[in-house]
Amino acid sequence: MRQTVADLGEARLHRGLSHRADFSNRRVDLVEGGEVEGEVVDQRGERIEGARVMAGSGGGYLPVGKGARGVVLSDRDGHFLLSGVHPGSATITAVSGAAGRGSVRGVEVSSGRTVRGLRIQPAPQGSEPEAPLAAGTVAIGLGERGNAPNIEVVVVSVAESSEAERAGVEPGDVISALDGVRPTSMADARARLSGQPGSDIVLELTRASAALRLRVLREATRR
């Protein structure tokens, strides 16, 4: 079954200086992810090459010249295969510099299995400008789950070789607090993550029921 959607809305979704978590005495249950296979096409149905595809509805921020874990690019035929998607109901998002952003929500992913035939159709985002952010941020993609006032902000991608990766941030981490303040939304979290390159921020995370506290350096990024 093919699912098609055009989503015009905004996404919902460093060195570790101290407090690196010690998992030596903690049991962490690892769940095998599933795969999602499909294509990215524009509003005319033409295939889009080079669209960034990820689980979640958050856009990724990348250090200049670097890629991100949890993000794949569509090939010349618009095809993509996204691996390591957490089982359950997922949102799969494609972002194209030329075509915009699109998401398919409610994709049922099963451990060790592949969902096939997904079709994502990006569309230009609204003309209302985003609030300006500072020059630096933490190079992670964000997503949301749940509904207000109980929204959880989740890490959906981490840029390779970034300060966030070096600090130990991983996709699937739930952000409990940023410098001691609980984020109320993805936009709120992104604003708190932004700041001058070289400054740091403390991320309080939940991973497999374990609490982590990581200090991460902000860096210059591109979208």
Q: Is residue 22 part of a domain?
A: no
Nearest CA-CA partner of 55 in 83, 79, 97, 29: 83
Task: Say yes or no: 148 and 207 in one domain.
Answer: yes
Q: What is the CATH number of the domain that holds 214?
A: 2.30.42.10
* 29 has a pLDDT exceeding 60: no
Give me the residues paired with residue 177 across strands: 204
Same domain, 114 and 140: no
Domain assignment present for 185: yes
Domain membership of residue 179 as a residue range: 136-222
pLDDT tens-place string over residues 118-133: 999 988 765 334 444 4
141 and 112 within one domain = no
43-78: buried (b, 16+ CB within 10 Å) or exposed (e) per residue? Answer: eeeeebeebbbbbbbbbbbbbeeebbbbbbebeeeb
Choosing from 88, 120, 152, the residue where a domain stops is: 120
CA gap 13, 107 in Å, rounded: 15
Q: Which residue shows structure tokens 């979640």?
A: 56
Is the pLDDT reported for residue 3 higher than 50? no
- pTM passes above 0.75: no
- Residue bearing the bigger pLDDT, 42 or 203: 203
Q: Report yes or no on 100 lying in a domain.
A: yes
Same structural domain, 157 and 112: no
Domain boundary among 120, 152, 176: 120
For residues 90-118, average pLDDT: 88
d(CA 136, CA 221): 6
Let me know whether 111 and 144 are in one domain: no
Residue pointed to by tokens 């995370």? 205
Domain count, the chain: 2
> Is 125 among the domain residues?
no
Identify the CATH number of the domain in which residue 91 sits. 2.60.40.10
Asked whether residue 105 falls in the same domain as residue 50, the answer is yes
**Residue 83 placed within a domain:** yes
Query: Does residue 60 fall inside a structural domain?
Result: yes
Instruction: For 55-89, write each residue's pLDDT tens digit.
Output: 876 555 555 555 566 788 999 999 999 998 888 88
